[in-house]
Amino acid sequence: MATWRNTMFWGLSLLLLLFVEVCSPVCVEVPSGTEAVQGHNMTLLCISCMQREEVFAITSVEWYYQPNNGNRSLIYEFIEGKHSEPKSPFKGRLQWSGSKDLQDVSLILHNVTIADSGRFLCAVNRTLHFEAHQHSIQSNIEINLIVTEVENEDFTSVLSEIMMYILLAFLTLWLLIEVVYCYRKISKAEEITQESVTDYLAIPSENKENCSVPVEE
């Protein structure tokens, strides 16, 4: 039942999201994942929605990294439409994954290592250009990344899988009980019919003529 409810919930959510996207452009600030597996790629998700999309804006982005026991340093920047990577342990492993409207300014970290664990900071600065003045907006998004050697199983997914197996076992047992019940019911009906036929055949011929079926008027 829980799996069915989750399926229905995500199905309705997907339909609603598609409906909203068809009607009008929308930006949703989704938090980034915080767990990565050694040797795999990790998307450092940074979404900063614009509240006034009709206003012309210049966006600049800076990504910082701070190890668990260390100082913060700049690892990537996007300024005036140009990308640059300062010298850092991540140089050559970062890939820009942002959108054209610069509401999504995410990065992809390739070939994650255990040493990459730490705090990433996505600093987005927007300068809104109005007719009479300019206004700057700063937003910071932090990602506490934890890198493991093997992928950890999600407790929720494990629990859902266990519940699914329990449900399947219950349905199989219920179906088996129904089959046995129906088989016994059919067998009993056949035995009663066979006994009725046997009793009828055992009646003498002269008495069979008197065995008439009453007819209701």
In this structure, the answer to whether residues 139 and 161 fall within a common structural domain is: no
Q: 4 vs 1, 157, 159, 167, CA distance in Å?
A: 5, 14, 14, 11
Q: What is the mean pLDDT of residues 120-143?
A: 92
In this structure, the answer to whether residues 90 and 191 fall within a common structural domain is: no
Q: Which residue has the higher pLDDT, 28 or 9?
A: 28
Helix (H/G/I), strand (E/B), else coil: 148: strand
Q: Which of 120, 152, 96, 163 is nearest to 32 (CA)?
A: 120
In this structure, the answer to whether residues 176 and 135 fall within a common structural domain is: no
Map tokens 């199989």 to a residue.
Answer: 172
Domain region containing 177: 157-200
Write down the pTM of the prediction.
0.59
Residue 23 included in any domain: no
pLDDT, residue 62, reads 97
Does pLDDT of 133 surpass 80?
Answer: yes
In this structure, the answer to whether residues 136 and 179 fall within a common structural domain is: no
CATH of the domain at 86: 2.60.40.10
Residue 1 included in any domain: no
In this structure, the answer to whether residues 136 and 172 fall within a common structural domain is: no
pLDDT above 70 covers a percentage of the chain that reads 76
Give the pair of three-digit tokens for residue 144: 């506490």
Residue 8 included in any domain: no
Residue 217 included in any domain: no
Q: What is the DSSP string of 1-21?
A: -HHHHHHHHHHHHHHHHHHHH
pLDDT tens string 17-67: 444 344 445 788 899 999 999 999 999 999 999 877 778 889 999 999 999
pLDDT, residue 27, reads 84
Label residue 162 by pLDDT band (50, 70, 90).
confident
Distance CA 99, CA 134 (A): 24
Does pLDDT of 97 surpass 80?
Answer: yes
Total domains in the fold of the chain: 2
Q: Which of 115, 152, 116 is nearest to 44 (CA)?
A: 116
pLDDT tens string 103-122: 999 999 999 999 999 999 99
In this structure, the answer to whether residues 103 and 135 fall within a common structural domain is: yes
Q: What is the mean pLDDT of the chain?
A: 81
Q: Which of 216, 192, 217, 199 is nearest to 208 (CA)?
A: 199
